[in-house]
């Protein structure tokens, strides 16, 4: 019988099998006596879903391991897009978001971050640059260099990356409406350094649709804006093959108030619009989908955020395969950058934000992201200081090199079940061996003092050594 015909899809529903009575008994509510001693704080919930007090095999009865999880690096990539993923020797890209004032000042900041161990650059542009204004425009006077670096010309772009080899460092540029202009300047800067466009590695955000939803730095109407985004995807697929042509963004919608589930839904809706525009230009899905990247927001609900990245990988791979007919596994791999939640920062007692960012970073790592930036502890007050940027970078480095989370692929359920099982097995083995030795010693004939040829053998001293 062909089992594939009845194989359920990702969204199919199957009846849950019956489980023994102990499982259902253990799920009963706590007794009034227990509640009187330690009252609960009310209903638990994530930003999107209620959370039960206890989970058992009943809750994953319909889970099919190969279909829903699979192995790391294999469809549907739930556990990881590659095997092995980030390791202690080569962890995720540490890419702090930086840029302010002039190109010279931002160049110094970039060099400082690279000297501290940062492994990639992320450029913050000021609002006039994001909206296509020159710095000397009367409309731009109050905002020049305030929330990012001012880039008005090719000379500014060359100054921004002076002394930074563009064939050795990947650069992410948070730019949307004028993305084509900034990318052209970056390619020209690389050529001046002797780096051809084929060797440039980085990302243009190029996601203008979320500007209409959450940020507002758009220039043109939606239709022409999407066409420009698709033009960049087409050009880079042919001439800048290592460049991530678009970084589709859920981050800004989450900080604007969406739940984690809405963050996924809205962002995937935008992704479909860009894919459809690229397909309309005659591109094949596997010509450009492998260079679609993402940026998502990591908030405080630890387990929800870990689960979110696993769900994103599975949903994306399934959609590319079933809806768009992708055949290349690289197109189905969901590769994402994340930044810790800016809206979770608090201006009062800002040092507490260090703890928040560390917890969010650990959730992102366990979720399997490829690149991370931390919102610095003082950003609720102003642009981050050097001290805050260094603390954010050190937080990533400590998690990468001192916690062991990069020692194994997807270090969660299987590892947490294996470690106590293995330790208990070894304890049982040691106990069994100890009892065997005790029984063996008890079965030996006893010897009185002075009897026998030599008593030193009983004390652990070899008899032949006299």
Whether residue 79 is contained in a domain is answered as no
Whether residue 10 is contained in a domain is answered as no
Give the per-residue pLDDT at 384. 92
Going residue by residue through the chain (466 aa), what tens digit of pLDDT does each one get? 444 444 444 444 555 455 555 545 444 555 566 666 776 666 677 777 788 878 888 888 888 877 888 788 888 888 888 766 555 556 899 999 999 999 999 999 999 999 999 999 999 999 999 999 999 999 999 999 999 999 999 999 999 999 999 999 999 999 999 999 999 999 999 999 999 999 999 999 999 999 999 989 999 999 999 999 999 999 999 999 999 999 999 999 999 999 999 999 999 999 999 999 999 999 999 999 999 999 999 999 999 999 999 999 999 999 999 999 999 999 999 999 999 999 999 999 999 999 999 999 999 999 999 999 999 999 999 989 999 999 999 999 999 999 988 887 776 666 666 666 666 777 777 766 666 666 666 666 555 544 444 444 443 444 444 3
CB atoms inside a 10 Å sphere around CB 74: 17
Environment class of 417 (CB within 10 Å of its CB; exposed 0-12, middle 13-18, buried 19+): exposed
Whether residue 133 is contained in a domain is answered as yes
Give the domain range for residue 232: 90-415
Can you tell me the distance from the alpha carbon of 176 to that of 321, in angstroms, rounded to the nearest whole number? 28
Can you tell me the distance from the alpha carbon of 67 to that of 3, in angstroms, rounded to the nearest whole number? 13
Whether residue 267 is contained in a domain is answered as yes
CA terminus-to-terminus distance, the chain: 78
Can you tell me the distance from the alpha carbon of 428 to that of 98, in angstroms, rounded to the nearest whole number? 54
CB 309 within 8 A of CB 368: yes
The angle formed by the CA atoms of residues 50, 52 and 58, to the nearest 5 degrees, is 120
CB 274 within 8 A of CB 229: yes
**Tokens 């208990």, located at residue:** 424
CB 376 within 8 A of CB 391: yes
Q: b/e per residue, 395-414, with b = 16+ CB within 10 A?
A: bbeebbeeeebbeebbebee
Whether residue 282 is contained in a domain is answered as yes
Whether residue 61 is contained in a domain is answered as no
Pairing between strand 246-249 and 243-244? unpaired
Give the per-residue pLDDT at 443. 64
In the numeric block, which tokens belong to residue 345?
């920062």
CATH number of the domain where residue 255 is located: 3.20.20.240
Q: b/e per residue, 40-53, with b = 16+ CB within 10 A?
A: eeeeeebbeeeeee
Whether residue 423 is contained in a domain is answered as no
Whether residue 78 is contained in a domain is answered as no
How many independent structural domains does the chain possess? 1
């Amino acid at each position: 019988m062909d089992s594939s015909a009845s194989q359920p899809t990702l969204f199919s529903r199957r009846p849950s099998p019956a489980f023994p009575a102990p499982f259902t008994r253990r799920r009963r509510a706590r007794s009034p006596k227990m509640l009187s001693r330690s009252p609960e704080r009310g209903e638990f919930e994530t930003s999107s879903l209620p959370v039960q007090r206890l989970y058992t095999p009943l809750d994953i009865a319909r889970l099919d391991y190969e279909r829903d999880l699979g192995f790391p690096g294999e469809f549907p990539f739930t556990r990881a897009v590659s095997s092995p993923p980030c390791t202690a020797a080569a962890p995720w890209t540490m890419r702090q978001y930086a840029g302010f004032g002039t190109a010279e000042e931002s160049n110094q900041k970039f060099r400082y971050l690279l000297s501290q161990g940062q492994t990639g650059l992320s450029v913050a542009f000021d609002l006039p640059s994001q909206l296509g204004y020159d710095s000397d425009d009367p409309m731009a006077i109050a905002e020049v260099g305030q929330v990012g670096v001012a880039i008005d010309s090719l000379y500014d772009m060359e100054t921004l990356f002076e002394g930074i080899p563009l064939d050795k460092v990947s650069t992410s540029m948070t730019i949307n409406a004028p993305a084509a202009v900034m990318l052209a300047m970056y390619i020209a800067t690389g050529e001046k350094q002797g780096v051809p466009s084929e060797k440039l590695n980085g990302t243009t955000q190029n996601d203008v649709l979320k500007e209409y939803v959450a940020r507002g730095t758009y220039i043109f109407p939606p239709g022409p804006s999407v066409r420009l985004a698709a033009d960049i995807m087409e050009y880079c697929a042919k001439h800048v093959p290592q460049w991530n042509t678009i970084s589709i963004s859920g981050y800004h919608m989450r900080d604007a108030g969406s739940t984690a589930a809405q963050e996924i839904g809205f962002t995937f809706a935008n992704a479909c619009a860009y894919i459809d525009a690229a397909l309309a230009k005659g591109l094949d899905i596997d010509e450009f989908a492998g260079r679609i990247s993402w940026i998502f927001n990591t908030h405080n609900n630890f387990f929800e955020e870990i689960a979110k990245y696993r769900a994103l990988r599975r949903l994306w791979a399934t959609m590319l395969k079933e809806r768009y007919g992708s055949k290349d596994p690289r197109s189905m791999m969901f590769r994402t950058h994340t930044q810790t939640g800016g809206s979770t920062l608090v201006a009062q007692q800002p040092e507490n934000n260090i703890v928040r960012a560390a917890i969010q970073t650990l959730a992102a790592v366990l979720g399997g992201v490829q690149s991370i930036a931390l919102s610095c502890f003082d950003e609720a007050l102003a642009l981050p200081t050097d001290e805050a940027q260094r603390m954010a970078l050190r937080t990533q480095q400590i998690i990468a090199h001192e916690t062991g989370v990069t020692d194994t692929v997807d270090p969660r359920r299987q590892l947490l079940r294996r470690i106590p099982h293995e330790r208990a097995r070894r304890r049982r083995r040691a106990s069994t061996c100890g009892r065997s030795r005790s029984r063996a010693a008890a079965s030996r004939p006893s010897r009185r003092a002075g009897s026998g040829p030599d008593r030193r053998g009983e004390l652990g001293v070899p008899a032949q050594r006299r």
